[in-house]
């Protein structure tokens, strides 16, 4: 069995490899192939990956290549996590909207739109190449903005063997598990919406509904959360208390837009700028640990839930073990208030045959209308990215709740297009 990671030089990759190695017997005698265009960091991760394989006692061969066709050919699972333009261009996605008084965020609003323009053409190339060189492979996607990437892939390739992932629902499971003092794998969510825009209407612990129990907890902590900065945890508690459902933490950008904008403006540095300072030290750690005979990671790029989700989805499919996850794929009626032919995010049972959606209860009107509004703007932006249509990008910016009226939308869209020009041949 061959597993390929496209974007293999990512600082996230070592944790994903460790996750895969927890069930390394599933891949015994196989190959783990890392692909990236960043040769320096690719070699660091390659050496580290070989050490992690030794530490786990796994029968798995590690290879690395800058040739994407070589990486894809013959693979059974392909994890995609490219970042077109790197953190430098993510920083532009965040900084340019902020300069105009708009929220700058990696996956939301006009920053997220610009990221989609860069990522979608590459992901469509990758999917087309997979269909030619590894037609039986499943693509498991982490590339952001994941919802718009999934929408684009399904528009171009309706029958693609493709599952979009986001670690945010898994992070919610982890947080709830910690609160209840149980293994978060025992938690399941009824989730309806889109990537970074949805609601958990029911939380299950071993198939028992514990939502009312959590509402009592939110009622107690809600007043305290209002006194603290609007971070993931406090924003989630406040929205849960106000709406009676657990939100995707990114919904705080919509419901508390003015407060979030002030927070971003006062921060001094954007998230990408913070990461650009941190990541060189992380790669230094990886390089040092890779020299050990039995490497053990002491520093990590992301939360445990990120690596756990990707590795568990691949393991469930490899083992043919039906397992419930929140995924992104064609809606098909699973999320009632969104178009059935467009991408959505919902629970599904994943196994060796693919996935089976779990239909979700209808959301209340107010929450459903906001998500449908966000989705409509993102769908317009996906068309803009696929067709290279500036006018569609402007329309999407006007429609998005984090966007702007036409004169300002035009200015920001044009500035983003100019800033990312080397990565936007479709807009030529």
Spatial CA neighbour of 127 closest among 84, 165, 163: 163
Find the largest Cα–Cα distance for the chain.
Answer: 60
Residues 6+ apart with CB under 8 A from 281: none
Instruction: Count the Cβ atoms, other than its own, within 10 Å of residue 45.
Output: 28
Tokens, residue 72 = 């894809």
Q: How far is CA 122 from CA 7, 217, 407, in A?
A: 12, 44, 30
Spatial CA neighbour of 240 closest among 188, 172, 286: 172
Are 98 and 271 in contact, with CB atoms under 8 Å apart? no
Are 184 and 229 in contact, with CB atoms under 8 Å apart? no
Residues 235 and 231: their CA atoms lie apart, in Å, by: 6
Tokens, residue 307 = 């690596």
Q: Which helix (H) or strand (E) segment is 227 a member of?
A: none
Are 249 and 231 in contact, with CB atoms under 8 Å apart? no
Percent helix, strand and coil across the chain, each to the nearest 5: 55, 15, 30
What are the DSSP calls for 284-351, one per residue? HHHHHHHTSSS------SS-HHHHHHHHHHHHHHHHT--EEEEEEEE-TTSSTTS-TTSEEEEEEEEE
Tokens, residue 34 = 């890392």
Report the SS3 class of residue 401.
Answer: coil
Active site residues: 250
Spatial CA neighbour of 8 closest among 20, 25, 22: 20
Residues 6+ apart with CB under 8 A from 364: none
């Amino acid at each position: 069995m061959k597993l390929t990671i496209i974007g293999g030089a990512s600082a996230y990759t070592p944790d994903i490899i460790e996750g895969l190695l927890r069930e390394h017997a599933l891949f015994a005698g196989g190959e783990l192939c890392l692909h990236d265009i960043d040769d320096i960091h690719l070699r660091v991760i390659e050496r580290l990956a070989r050490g992690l394989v030794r530490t786990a006692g796994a029968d798995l061969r590690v290879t690395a290549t800058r040739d994407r066709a070589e990486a894809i050919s013959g693979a059974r699972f392909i994890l995609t996590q490219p970042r077109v333009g790197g953190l430098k261009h993510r920083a532009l996605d965040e900084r340019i909207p902020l300069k105009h008084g708009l929220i700058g965020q990696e996956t939301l609003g006009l920053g997220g739109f610009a990221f989609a323009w860069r990522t979608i053409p590459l992901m469509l190339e990758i999917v087309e190449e997979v269909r030619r060189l590894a037609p039986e492979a499943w693509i498991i996607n982490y590339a952001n903005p994941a919802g718009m990437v999934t929408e684009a892939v399904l528009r171009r390739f309706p029958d693609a063997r493709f599952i979009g992932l986001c670690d945010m629902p898994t992070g919610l499971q982890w947080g709830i598990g910690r609160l209840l003092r149980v293994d978060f794998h025992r938690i399941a969510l009824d989730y309806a919406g889109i990537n970074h825009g949805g609601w958990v209407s029911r939380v299950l612990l071993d198939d028992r509904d514990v939502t009312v129990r959590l509402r009592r907890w939110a009622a107690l902590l809600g007043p305290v959360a209002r006194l603290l900065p609007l971070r993931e945890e406090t924003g989630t508690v406040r929205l849960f208390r106000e709406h009676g459902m657990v939100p995707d933490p990114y919904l705080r950008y919509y419901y508390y837009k003015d407060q979030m904008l002030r927070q971003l403006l006062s921060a001094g540095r954007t998230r990408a700028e913070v990461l650009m300072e941190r990541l060189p030290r992380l790669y230094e750690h990886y390089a040092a640990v890779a020299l050990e005979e039995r490497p053990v990671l002491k520093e990590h790029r992301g939360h445990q839930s990120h690596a756990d989700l990707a590795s568990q989805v691949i393991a469930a499919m490899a083992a043919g073990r039906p397992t419930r996850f929140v995924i992104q794929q064609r809606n098909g009626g699973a999320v009632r208030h969104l178009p059935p032919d467009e991408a959505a995010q919902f629970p599904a049972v994943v196994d060796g045959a693919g996935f089976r959606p779990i239909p979700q209860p209808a959301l209340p009107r107010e929450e459903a209308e906001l998500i449908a509004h966000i989705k409509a703007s993102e769908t317009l932006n996906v068309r803009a990215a696929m067709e290279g249509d500036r006018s569609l990008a402007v329309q999407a910016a006007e429609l998005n709740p984090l966007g702007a009226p036409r004169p300002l939308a035009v200015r920001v869209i044009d500035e983003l297009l100019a800033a990312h020009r080397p990565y936007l041949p479709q807009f030529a």
